[in-house]
Structure 1
């Protein structure tokens, strides 16, 4: 650059040596050289000033750069330390959650096992209770049928006995009416007839415990009254005997009607009970069918529960594997850098 700024004299262009130049030429050449030196000195001073300014700016920039680098380094170190602390905290939390999850899964497994055992025990107990109740119900139904059969037989026997007694009482009533008619005509013949037939009426009273006892009792009383007081009118005797017999017949007829009504009610009750027994049998069959259906449904639900448990276990294994893989990726990405590398 100084060679380009230096002026070229015409003498130098001719390549003349200095000893061939005149004093004026040398003087002019010297003046030019002095001027050129001054210009070069000024340019050098300017360049030195520029260099000093650039050096100062470079120093300031370097200092500011170092300060910024220190700040960034400190920030990164603090962030890295906080990330490390958070990473360790998350890792401990994950371990605690894994431990809690394992404990919960163990508890769930125990509860499910206890539930299955209780369900099996409950099903067994329900089956035993149902069988026991069915057996007791069948025994009660059989006993009830036997008792109703006995009651019906006893009522039939009572009805037959009452019918027989009523027929005997009616015959006695007809005989008493006939005797009263005869008594009105011939009292002595009636007394002899009553005396001769009184043992027969006593036998009738022995054969029937209810009404014939009344008739037999009234007949000896009438016979005793007739033999003791011969002045008793025959019409009064016949009226008293007829009233007693009519009252006894009325009572027997009422009792017979009540027994017939009870017999009809018992027959109707027996028919309704048979209908109920049939319905109970059908209900028992339906209960047995429902129990078998419930048992099959329970087995199906149990199988579905086992399949769901297997699926849940598989999903948990996959989730655990994914969490471990993600943790390994985080640990590989978040390596602790050294200060020298920063």
Structure 2
């Protein structure tokens, strides 16, 4: 803000307004207009008093011009605020007049009102402000209270809906937790069964398969030995038979030799019997080996099918579900083919 100079400073800086100083003054049209604006503002500010003299430099002009414009802005804001205040005052005067008319209409005199009644009037005024009423008439209060009742009813309905939804969510949550506990129990029991009975059955099948393989190998070895010991006997028996084109002597000679061969064959048979095996027993062994091979093949197939079972219960359920869906697709395809065949006929 601008302040007047006093004492020596004012006397030393006092110069004529029209005479230029050593600090340099602006003489263009823009500066003249701004100085005119500053001079007008100073005259309005001091009114009847004499404007103090000052040094008319560029810096002083800029400061005084900013001060003048700032004061004008503040005065404009003050005038607008005063106008708003007057409008609000008139509005409250109008509200007060309406309240007085209402009180007169209802036969209430402010001087005769007790303290509690004045408090009631104050509360009614607050209620009108809360309800957003334009006036404090009885009809306005009825309308505002009716709107409040409607809003309250809607809020209660929404609250009831939220309560029902919350109860439904709680019920579904309990059902989901029960289902989850059931599934966890089934999974735990299935895991225990799979780790106990399933592994035991698998180990039993593997053990029986290994034993059958060992027994089949032993029976095969015994059978090969028996067949190897049986082949010389068959060759000797073929040599001992007489030929029809040979003379009797030769045949008799062959017979004699056949007799010797028969004796050697019988000695071989005796050796086979001495080993505990006969031809009938060898046949039985062959049949037993074939049965063991068939049993081994069946158990191997069953073991492969058991190994194809997925170890995960969820994966097994998915495979069963996939197979069921595939069966349904094939059933639909079969029905469509039957229908098409019936239409073609």
Category of TM-score, reference length = shorter chain = 0.3 to 0.5
More helix by percentage = 1
Give the greater-gyration-radius structure (CA): 1
TM-score after normalising by structure 2: 0.35
Q: Which structure is higher in RCO with an 8 Å CA cutoff and minimum separation 6?
A: 1
